[in-house]
Amino acid sequence: MNNGISYLSQGKNLIIVIDGKSYTVNKDTHVAYRKIVDAINSKNLDALRGLVDQKNYIINYGKGHIDIKDTTLWDSIYWDGELLNNSMIVRLEQILRNDIPIEPMISFMENLSNNPSEISIQQLYIFLNRNNNIPLTTDGHFLALKQVDSNYFDFETSTIYHEIGKIIEMDRDFIDDDPISKTSSGLHFCSLDFINQYLPTLPNHNIIMIKINPKDVVSVSHAYFSGKGRCCRYKVVSHLPLITLTNILDKVVEDRYL
């Protein structure tokens, strides 16, 4: 007994009794396990009440955007009334397990809803699902990478200089929205995995990090394991010379919530 909290530890499970009701909390499956342990250790019964029921905890964490309509928890999460795509469920679970503020995801979903093409939205989901280390920013954009020449001009026209902080854009109507196209018209972006896989074949170039609003994504190529896409607008966040390439992932994590 611990200030109204009765619990028993059995391997990876905590059997907790609160207000006469029993809850089984598994270390591997309950996203708030660490917070539950902290609440027990600090004898915080009120906090524990809001944590042990995982379904209610996730719904409350979503600040009015999340609903769960079935007992099969991760297969029945709805966001603003629509079944949440698997790529965002994976991201939501990461957010919950690490107790990260959900506001960036809320902003991302709001921005995504302003994308005029449902096909583009579904393609972006594929990109995020295949590259789940892509970070979201506080204003609901995502960070990606881009290859430029040795002087930070674009490869396609050699006329666009990628100065840090500069916004690059083009008319969406001129961008190829066909996911079958490997290389075509549009402002290109890619994932870290794409860079690591195809970098040796592209000499005399540099890497930049760019920030993209999901509403500006037009297509994601089916080639390259969906690691490359086209958009109509992005902001240059930073230059990443080849010497820092091995540290790109650390840089991405460090800047996760710009």
- pTM of the entire structure? 0.85
Q: What percentage of the chain has pLDDT greater than the value 90?
A: 66
- Strand residue runs (E) in 56-182: 66-68, 77-79, 82-83, 142-149, 167-169
Containing domain of residue 151, as a range?
A: 118-254
Convert the pLDDT of each residue in 186-242 to its tens digit: 899 998 888 877 665 566 788 899 999 999 999 998 776 678 899 999 999 998 865
pLDDT at position 131, please? Answer: 81
Per the structure, the count of domains in the chain is 2
Residue 243 CA to residue 149 CA, distance in Å, equals: 15
Query: Strand pairing partners for 239?
Result: 208
Helix, strand, coil share (%) of the chain residues, nearest 5: 35, 25, 40
Q: Is 128 contained in some domain?
A: yes
CB 146 within 8 A of CB 207: yes
Q: Is 40 contained in some domain?
A: yes
Q: Is 113 contained in some domain?
A: no
249 and 143: one domain?
yes
Convert the pLDDT of each residue in 10-66 to its tens digit: 999 999 999 889 999 999 999 999 999 999 999 999 999 999 999 999 999 999 999
Residue 125 CA to residue 118 CA, distance in Å, equals: 11
Which of 59, 74, 100 is the last residue before a domain boundary? 100
137 and 244: one domain?
yes
Which of 36, 67, 100 is the last residue before a domain boundary? 100
Q: Is 105 contained in some domain?
A: no
CA angle 135, 112, 168 (to 5 degrees): 70
Q: Is 57 contained in some domain?
A: yes
| Torsion, CA 150, CA 155, CA 160, CA 166, rounded to 10 | -70
Query: Strand pairing partners for 83?
Result: 78
244 and 160: one domain?
yes
